[in-house]
């Protein structure tokens, strides 16, 4: 009985320490990755300016072939929205919408997630001409609510987003250069 009580107190102490640490942690998540693609901006723009074409290279939506999806609004224009619902915990439920477009330069994106908790994030796909090539930058910015800030210690979200950015940029490179 004494061992169970001691173990319980240790676990409680760890939980309290983590919750206190979360009070002092910044909740921001900022991730940015780039790749240079051997194709002109106009060709890369075709794959990055519409939700339908983003889904051709984004690894996020290949994780569940049975998820329910819906595109609304005029694709390639501000307000266009892609919503999904999945039974897998990796993707869950959310919507991605085009917030703003600067033709041949940048697509600003808003991401809303509803499960496991409601949150939103912003991001962009930025294109920069580099001679006959194009530098593509993906950026993601969001905030974790308290007490989930403690997840920053483990870097789970950062690792997942970085891995998906890497895969997505490589898929985009193959599409544009192929």
Residue 119 phi, psi dihedral angles, 5° rounding:
-155, 165
Six token digits for residue 159? 């690792």
Q: Is the pLDDT of residue 109 over 90?
A: yes
For 10, 84, 98, 105, 123, the CA distances from 112, given in Å and listed in that order, are 37, 11, 12, 23, 11
pTM summary value: 0.83
Question: Would residue 42 count as lying in a domain?
Answer: yes
Structure tokens given for 74: 């005029």
**69 found inside a domain:** yes
Q: Does a structural domain hold residue 5?
A: no
pLDDT at 74: 95
**What's the number of domains the chain is made of?**
1
141 belongs to a structural domain: yes
> Could you tell me if 140 and 31 are in contact, meaning their C-beta atoms sit under 8 angstroms apart?
yes
**Closest to 60 (Cα-Cα) out of 136, 152, 169, 135:** 169
Bond preceding residue 4 cis, omega within 30 of 0:
no
Q: Tens digits of per-residue pLDDT, 121-175?
A: 999 999 999 999 999 999 989 887 777 666 767 777 778 888 989 999 999 999 9
The pLDDT score that the predictor gives to residue 72 is 95
pLDDT digits (tens, 9 = 90+) for 13-28: 777 776 676 667 677 8
The DSSP letter of residue 141 is E
Decide which of 74 and 21 is more confident: 74
The reply to whether 80 falls in a domain is: yes
SS3 content of the chain, % helix, strand, coil (to 5): 40, 35, 25
Is residue 14 assigned to a domain? no
CATH code at position 114? 3.30.530.20
Q: Which whole number is the average pLDDT over 48-52?
A: 93
Quick one: which of 56, 40, 38, 39 has its CA closest to 48?
Answer: 56
- Assigned domain for 1 exists: no
Residue 95 has a pLDDT of: 93
Secondary element (H or E) of residue 129? strand 119-130
Domain containing residue 44: 27-177
């Amino acid at each position: 009985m004494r061992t169970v009580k001691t173990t319980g107190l240790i676990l409680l102490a760890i939980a309290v320490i983590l919750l206190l640490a979360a009070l002092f942690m910044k909740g921001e998540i900022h991730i940015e990755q780039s790749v240079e693609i051997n194709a002109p901006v106009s060709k890369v723009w075709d794959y990055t300016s519409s939700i339908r074409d983003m889904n051709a290279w984004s690894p996020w939506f290949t994780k569940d072939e049975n998820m329910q999806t819906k595109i609304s609004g005029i694709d390639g224009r501000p307000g266009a929205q892609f919503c999904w619902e999945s039974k897998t915990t990796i993707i869950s439920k959310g919507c991605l919408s085009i917030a703003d477009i600067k033709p041949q330069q940048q697509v600003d994106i808003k991401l809303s997630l509803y499960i496991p908790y409601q949150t939103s994030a912003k991001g962009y796909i930025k294109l920069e001409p580099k001679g006959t090539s194009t530098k593509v930058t993906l950026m993601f910015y969001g905030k974790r609510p308290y007490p989930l800030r403690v997840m920053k210690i483990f870097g789970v979200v950062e690792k997942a987003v970085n891995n998906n950015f890497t895969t997505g940029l490589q898929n985009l490179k193959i599409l544009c250069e192929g």
